[in-house]
Amino acid sequence: MHFLPVFMDIMFPLESFVITRTLKTEDLEWALQNVKVTRKIVILTYTSSFPRPELTMLKSCKYIELQQSWLKICAVNDFMEEWKTGNFPSLRYMLIRSAGFHWYWYDHILGFKRNEMKQLGVRRRLVIDENLSIECTGGVDIQSDNGTKATMQMDRVFSDWFELFVWKE
């Protein structure tokens, strides 16, 4: 069964979009390129042969959650380099849970090692909107080129979690 026909007639942005089953590569790519999501997107994949979503396709989202994504540390670093330049102005929170997170001595995200992002610190609550908030318990604070402040945190709940909290103070 193809996923594509379900969304062929959508002409307006979706507030939330959840994909919870394995899709054909072309269907996922079509959905990410053609369905604009303004609030929350959740993609759960269950196989290492599933394609890595191109994170730059998610620029309109406030909340991005990729579960079992199989992304590598270098892909997250590339995304964070893009975020740092201001290319994701709507983003408030991102969670990536990946079995592909195999840390080596040379791995980093924006120059930070895993242990630096695991540090516990001040507990803060990120309010994304009136119905959605998430707790940050530490990590490292960073700043984008346009002055937006954020926190990157590793392993808050599970050992293969990367989280980005964007503070719009």
Q: What is the pLDDT of residues 139-162, one digit of tens each?
A: 999 999 999 999 999 987 777 889
Mean pLDDT of the chain: 77
Max Cα-Cα span within the chain: 48
Range of the domain at 138: 4-167
- Contacts for 130-138 with beta carbons within 8 Å, 24 or more apart? 132/40, 132/63, 134/93, 134/163, 134/165, 136/163, 136/165
pLDDT of 37 reads 67
Total domain count, the chain = 1
Residues 79-122 pLDDT 10s: 899 999 998 888 999 988 877 677 777 788 999 988 888 888 88
pLDDT of 165 reads 96
3-state DSSP of the chain: CCCHHHHCCCCCCEEEEEECCCCCHHHHHHHHHHCCEEEEEEEECCCCCCCCCCHHHHCCCCEEEEECCCCCHHHHHHHHHHHHCCCCCCCCEEEEECCCCCCCCCCCECCECHHHHHCEEEEEEEEEECCEEEEEEECEEEECCCCCEEEEEECCCCCCEEEEEEECC
Structure tokens at 40: 């929350």
